[in-house]
Structure 1
Amino acid sequence: MYDISYELWLEMVERVASEYAPLFSIMHEAAREIPLSRALIEKLKSNKRVKLSNDPWQIWLQIDLIEDDIGGFRVYLMACVKRDAMEGLMQLTAEEQGITQEEIRAFEVEHGLDMLGDVLEQIEDGYDILPEIIGESIIFSLVIFDSQDIDDSKGNDIFWSERTYTN
């Protein structure tokens, strides 16, 4: 039996996560370049999502309305990959190290690990992308606008101003 070390485990996790780095780069670049206009926001509010690409990845904009007093919202840039594609990549990465799926499962059970969960955590920590498993897909989300940020900055401006207010 091949002896899996925690360092090898982490190396495999990082390798799988890094395979998606081109997608995350595209997402971050697109987030910087997408002009958020009133028309786009209204389109998102009525349709909930706007498709940007299907090839090589399905990528779209999505809006989530926030139930607050000012009609706030968040706009996300999202991408989708099939869960089995990532799992296949995890299996291939292990096989390249001479490790079988049975050895992976035994290591996970023995150490309370989950390779898919660790890969998703590495993606979130290393690429600032929020991954979520939904059915047979993995959805990657990147917040490109959050109206709460505007509210927070206004509150901080008042709080941090040197001017004192009295009644």
Structure 2
Amino acid sequence: MYELNYDLWQEVIEDIASEYAPLFSIMHEAARELLISRPLIDDLLRTRELEISTEPWQMWLQIDPIDDNIGGFRIYLMASEDLDAIKELMMETAEDRGISQEEINAFEVEHGLDMLGDVFEVIRDRYEILPEIGGDNVTFSLVAFDSQDIDDSKGNDIFWSDDAYTN
């Protein structure tokens, strides 16, 4: 059994976050290939969400209007994971390194740490994915499109024409 220290803690955190790398890679690729068009935006504005994949992970688009007085919005590519599955992965990863749940709890209390929070921080920083807990799930969000990125002059004319915009 290892004595838990900060370096070992970081290794466990990195291992847990990297288990989701395939999902995040798929999300980034899907966002790059996403064809943003006026009909898609209109559909999202009407429905707020649009499922785009169920295999190997359920993914959907979600639109979030921006309160900017000009109709701005962000389109997010979303995926979710059961919170219990992430917690199970955390326990298994720690156990693979000889760390018990009791050691984790004591280390968190002693050092003011939170393993899940640290995993989320690595995911945000390394993969540019925002993880959020909602009920029994963790939702992973990637900004696929932000209307504020469109050039105010020429870009708006091109974007709002019938032509499509791709990332």
- Please report the TM-score for the alignment, with normalisation by the length of structure 1: 0.88
How many Å separate the matches in 1 of 2:68 and 2:29?
Answer: 30
Cα pair 1:13 1:119 within 8 Å, conserved: yes
Q: Once the two structures are superposed, what CA deviation does each residue of 1:15-73 show, in whole Å capped at 9, x if it has no partner?
A: 00000000000000000001001111111010001001222212000001122221111
Deviations 1:82-128 (A, max 9, x none): 11101000000011111110111001100100000000000000101
Instruction: Give the percent of matched residue pairs that are identical in Structure 1 and Structure 2.
Output: 63
- Name the residue aligned to 2:113: 113
1:73 is aligned to 73
2-structure distance, mates of 1:154, 1:45: 21
Greater shift after overlay, 75-84 or 55-64? 55-64
Task: Report if aligned partners of 1:59, 1:80 keep a CA contact under 8 Å in 2.
Answer: yes
What are the ranges of 5 or more consecutive residues in structure 1 without an aligned counterpart?
A: 156-167
Distance in 2 (CA, whole Å) between partners of 1:120 and 1:65 is 25
Gapped runs of 5+ residues in structure 2?
154-167
Q: Counterparts of 1:96 and 1:17 in 2: how far apart (Å)?
A: 15
2:47 matches 1:39? no
Query: How much has 1:154 moved relative to structure 2?
Result: 3.6
Equivalent residue runs for 1:63-102 within 5 Å: 63-102=63-102
> Scaled by the length of structure 2, what TM-score is found?
0.88
> CA deviation digits over 1:112-155, x for unaligned, max 9?
000000000000001011111111111111111111222xx549
Higher RCO, Cα 8 Å, sep 6+: 2
Q: Counterparts of 2:110 and 2:129 in 1: how far apart (Å)?
A: 29
| Aligned partners of 2:2 and 2:97 also within 8 Å | no
Query: How many angstroms apart in 2 are the aligned matches of 1:126 and 1:102?
Result: 28
Determine helix, strand or coil for the equivalent of 1:80. strand
CA-atom RMSD in angstroms: 1.3
Task: Count how many residue pairs are aligned between Structure 1 and Structure 2.
Answer: 153
Give how far 1:2 is off: 4.1
**Structure 2 residue aligned with 1:11:** 11
